Structure 1
Amino acid sequence: MSEQITSLGQLREVVGEPVRRAVVKQRDRLDDVDRAFIAASPFQMIATSDATGRVDVSPKGDPAGSVLVLDDHTLAVPDRPGNRRVDGFANILENPHVGLIFLVPRRHDTLRVNGTARLLLDPPYAERMRHRGHVPQIVLEVTVEEVFTHCAKAFLRSDLWKPEAWPTDDLPSIAQMAARTTDDMTVAQMEAYYTEENTRSIMYGTTPP
């Protein structure tokens, strides 16, 4: 029968103590290296939770440089047109604590930023986030509390950037998966809607969905 770990002491008995460099790498502000990493990142994952602890992780993607570092303690992520669920934003209204992981293609290390967030309407720097005619109306502004890098082990284990190791994509299409829970379109209509060409045409809100 499995034994449940229920205390930090019990956990430490199994995994041991972290090496010193894993502890001292944590900082409370962004430096020039962090700024460069964020500027090169076209993809981020943002974790939030509501007042009850229910968690959401939302992917964000834009051309590298779209996330602005306003100063050593503040960064800003533009909101782009999506499905309007805004699960993460709704969580932030209840609980401002957020965690972000920045990825750079082909890099096996990542940058992690933890802090508190607020939602801003039309901040004065929004125009700097313009892309393909879209200026974000809402910006997620994060006050940095912790920042540190993650080493390469997870990416090396997964071979994420190694195409020859990628599995064959024989999963159901996104249209087939969506059809399980909705009947407002036929599968054929969904297949047409979810093509890369159509998605690219609507993803910045320059054409109607």
Structure 2
Amino acid sequence: MEIPGLVEITSEEQLREVVPWPNQAVVDKVRKELHELDKEWLAHSQFCLIATSAADGSCDVSPKGDPAGFTKVLDDSTIAIPERAGNRRIDGFLNLVSNPQVGLIYLIPGRGETLRINGRARIVKEAPFFDDMIVKGNRPQLALLVEIDEIFHHCSKAFLRSQLWKPETWTPEAMPSRAEIAKALDRKDAELSELEKYYGKSYEESIYKVKY
């Protein structure tokens, strides 16, 4: 796409002309092992984002959520994340087959900071810790085993700018319902009433009942 007046940056040198090097404290905050405060954060986190990239460079970011503490700490440099059954696309898992590098961001609702972890992931279909990941009778069929390369806490500027945790800024009604979006984009042949029923109360009640 041609955009008149566009000025592109194509090298690290050009980028550093705009964004200077960080101060030493920011550089030094990156660690290779979990601190007790990191473990505490993971124990309270209900949600994370998992970024992956295939060998050809194609990318994916997948949300993962479960009750607080769903990520299991195996040792100071290894964590495990349960995989619950979903739509079977498994985009991130397919990326990991060819490229094990993974980036994680852990959130705690109401907190502006995030915990960031970069490392190498393995897909496992059985391990003793699976028994510790049972939720509402659902034992995961897969999990990610992540060996940590980098871990650090990220400041709250993005959350402060977006006011993400301020309920007075929330406008969920600004968008059509999930059923209406599905009707328009994904399931055009389905009746809207059927989709509204599917994405209703029974949808939430079934999230731990489905298996691949």
When the two structures are superposed, what TM-score results if normalisation uses the length of structure 2? 0.93
- Equivalent runs, 1:123-138 vs 2, <5 Å: 123-138=127-142
The superposition leaves residues 129-155 of structure 1 with CA deviations (integer Å, 9 ceiling, x where unpaired) of 111001111111100000011101000
CA displacement at 1:57 relative to structure 2: 0.3
Give 1:64's aligned residue.
68
1:78-132 CA-to-partner distances (Å, cap 9, x unmatched) read 0112111111111111111000000001111000000000111121110001110
- Give the gaps of 5 or more residues in structure 2: none
Partner residue of 1:139? 143
Equivalent position SS for 1:147: strand
- One-letter identity of the residue aligned with 1:89: F
Change (3 A) 1:93 1:168: closer
Offset at residue 181 of structure 1 (A): 3.0
1:93 pairs with one of 94, 97, 100: 97
Looking at structure 2, the residues matched to 102 and 89 of structure 1 have their Cα atoms a distance apart, in angstroms, of: 19
- Tell me which amino acid in the other structure corresponds to 1:115: G
- In the alignment, is the contact (CA less than 8 A) between 1:34 and 1:111 conserved in 2? yes
Give the paired residue count.
207
Q: CA deviation at 1:184?
A: 4.8
* RMSD of aligned alpha carbons: 1.5
Residue 185 of structure 1: how far off its partner (Å): 2.1
Alpha-carbon distance between aligned partners in 2 of 1:204 and 1:2, rounded to the nearest angstrom? 48
* Aligned counterparts of 1:144 and 1:38: Cα–Cα separation in 2: 14
After the TM superposition, which residues 1-209 of structure 1 pair with which residues of structure 2 at under 5 Å, given as runs?
1-167=5-171, 169-179=173-183, 180-195=185-200, 197-205=201-209
2:196 alignment partner AA: E
Unaligned runs of 5+ in 1: none
Deviation at 1:22, TM superposition (A): 1.1
Describe the superposition over 1:159-204 as per-residue Cα deviations: whole angstroms up to 9, x where unpaired: 1110012235221111111122324521111111111x21221100
SS of corresponding position for 2:111:
coil
In percent, how many aligned pairs have the same letter?
Answer: 48
Task: Give me the whole-angstrom Cα distance separating, in 1, the residues matched to 2:180 and 2:89.
Answer: 20
Taking the aligned partners of 2:31 and 2:189, their CA distance within structure 1 comes to: 49
Give the TM-score, by structure 1 length.
0.95
Question: Secondary structure, in 3 states, of the residue corresponding to 1:178?
Answer: helix
Give the whole-Å Cα distance in 1 for the aligned partners of 2:73 and 2:112: 22
Matched residue of 1:200: which SS? helix
Is the CA contact (8 Å cut-off) linking 1:159 and 1:166 kept in structure 2? no
3-state secondary structure, aligned to 2:195: helix
In structure 2, the CA distance between the partners of 1:202 and 1:184, relative to structure 1 (3 Å rule), is farther
- Distance, in Å, in 2 between the alignment partners of 1:168 and 1:99 is 28
For 2:55 and 2:32, locate their aligned partners in 1 and report how far apart those are by CA, in whole Å: 25
